[in-house]
Structure 1
Amino acid sequence: MKKLTYLATLAGSMLIAASCVDLNQEPQSFISDEEYFSQINQESLETSVSALYNNLWHDNYGFNSRIQRIQVCADEITYRAAKPGNELAYYDQLSPNIGANTADFDTSWELFYFTIANANKIIHYSAAPADATKEEVAKFNGVLAEAYFLRGLSYFYLVRMYGNIPIIPENGYETVINCPLSKPDEVYTKMIVPSLEYAETWLPESPRLGNSSTPTKWAAKTCLADVYITMAGWPLKKKEYYAKAAEAAKDVLDHNKYHHQEANYEDLWKETNKNNSEFMFCLHHSHANKVMASNYGKSYYPADFYNIKEEKARNGWADYYARKEAFDSYPNDKRKKWNFMTEWYSTSNNNKLIQWQDSPDGLPCISKYYNYDQGNPGENAQANGVTCIYRLADAKLLYAEASAKATESVNTQAIEAVRSLQDRAGYAELDKVPNDVSYDDFLNIVSKERKYEFFAEMRRWFELVRTEQVSVKRADKWNGSFFQTQGHYYFPIPSAQILLTGWENNKGY
Structure 2
Amino acid sequence: MKRIYVLLLSACLLALTMGGCKNYLDEQLLGNYSDGAFYQTQAQAILAINAAYTPLTFSSDRNRLWVFGDVASDDAAKGGDPGDQADIGLIDDFQIYPSNGPVESQWGEMYEGIYRCNQILARVPAINMSATVQNRILGEARFLRALYYFYLVNIYGPIPLLLEPKNADQLQITQSPVATIYEQAIEPDLQEAIKNLPSAYTGSDVGRATKGAATALLAKAYLYEKKWQLAATTAAQVQAIGNYSLLPVFSQNFDQAHKNSTETVFAVQHLTGQVPFTGNRLNQWFAPRANENGYFFNAPTVGFVNEFEKTSAGVVDPRLDYTVGRSGKNWVNGQSFDPAWSPTGYLTKKHEQPLSEIPASTKGDGNLNYVAIRYADVLLWQAEALNELGRSAEALPLLNQVRKRARESYLNDPTLSAPISGTPGSGTVVATVPAGLLPDVTNTSQSSLRDAIYHERRVELGQEFHRFFDLMRWGKDYAQNALRDKPSFTYDANRYFPIPQSERDTNKALKF
Query: 1:432 Cα shift?
Result: 2.9
How many residues align structurally? 453
Percent sequence identity over aligned pairs = 22
Match of 2:49 in 1: 49
Q: Does the CA-based 8 Å contact 1:58-1:111 persist in structure 2? A: no
Q: Does the CA-based 8 Å contact 1:206-1:216 persist in structure 2? A: yes
Match of 1:137 in 2: 131
For the residue of structure 2 that corresponds to 1:165, the secondary structure is: coil
Match of 2:370 in 1: 387
Query: 1:408 Cα shift?
Result: 2.0
Query: 1:360 Cα shift?
Result: 6.7
Q: In the alignment, is residue 415 of structure 1 matched against residue 396 of structure 2?
A: yes
- Closer/same/farther in 2, CA of residues 209 and 152 from structure 1, 3 Å limit: farther
Match of 1:402 in 2: 385
Match of 2:461 in 1: 454
Match of 1:275 in 2: 260
Note the 1:96-135 alignment, pairs <5 A: 96-99=96-99, 102-127=100-125
Q: In the alignment, is residue 301 of structure 1 matched against residue 284 of structure 2?
A: no
Q: Does the CA-based 8 Å contact 1:121-1:172 persist in structure 2? A: no
Match of 2:419 in 1: none
- Closer/same/farther in 2, CA of residues 70 and 419 from structure 1, 3 Å limit: closer
Match of 1:334 in 2: 318
Q: In the alignment, is residue 368 of structure 1 matched against residue 350 of structure 2?
A: yes
| Alpha-carbon separation, structure 1, partners of 2:55 and 2:18 | 7
- Closer/same/farther in 2, CA of residues 206 and 125 from structure 1, 3 Å limit: same
| Alpha-carbon separation, structure 2, partners of 1:186 and 1:164 | 9
- Closer/same/farther in 2, CA of residues 399 and 51 from structure 1, 3 Å limit: same
Match of 2:414 in 1: none
- Closer/same/farther in 2, CA of residues 272 and 81 from structure 1, 3 Å limit: closer
Residue 120 of structure 2 aligns with an amino acid whose one-letter code is I
Q: Which has the larger displacement, 76-85 or 147-156? A: 76-85
Match of 2:87 in 1: 87
- Closer/same/farther in 2, CA of residues 422 and 70 from structure 1, 3 Å limit: closer
| Alpha-carbon separation, structure 2, partners of 1:142 and 1:56 | 19
| Alpha-carbon separation, structure 1, partners of 2:138 and 2:342 | 51
Query: 1:372 Cα shift?
Result: 6.0
| Alpha-carbon separation, structure 2, partners of 1:176 and 1:5 | 28
Q: Provide structure 2 residue ranges, at least 5 long, that are not aligned to the other structure.
A: 1-10, 23-30, 310-315, 409-434
- Closer/same/farther in 2, CA of residues 360 and 423 from structure 1, 3 Å limit: closer
Q: What is the CA deviation profile of residues 420-475 of structure 1, one whole-angstrom value per residue up to 9, with x for unaligned ones? A: 11111117567333344311111111111111111110111111001122201111
Match of 1:466 in 2: 473
Residue 395 of structure 1 aligns with an amino acid whose one-letter code is V
For the residue of structure 1 that corresponds to 2:373, the secondary structure is: strand
Q: Provide structure 1 residue ranges, at least 5 long, that are not aligned to the other structure.
A: 16-28, 233-240, 306-312, 347-351
Query: 1:345 Cα shift?
Result: 11
Match of 2:298 in 1: 320
Residue 423 of structure 1 aligns with an amino acid whose one-letter code is K
Q: Does the CA-based 8 Å contact 1:372-1:385 persist in structure 2? A: no
Give the counterpart of 1:248 among 224, 227, 234.
Answer: 234
Q: Does the CA-based 8 Å contact 1:374-1:383 persist in structure 2? A: no
Match of 1:310 in 2: none
Query: 1:505 Cα shift?
Result: 6.4
Q: CA RMSD in A?
A: 3.0
Q: In the alignment, is residue 476 of structure 1 matched against residue 461 of structure 2?
A: no
Match of 1:499 in 2: 505
Give the counterpart of 2:406 among 425, 430, 435.
Answer: 425
Match of 1:60 in 2: 60
For the residue of structure 1 that corresponds to 2:79, the secondary structure is: coil
Give the counterpart of 2:200 among 202, 206, 214.
Answer: 206
Query: 1:262 Cα shift?
Result: 1.2
For the residue of structure 1 that corresponds to 2:244, the secondary structure is: coil
For the residue of structure 1 that corresponds to 2:372, the secondary structure is: strand
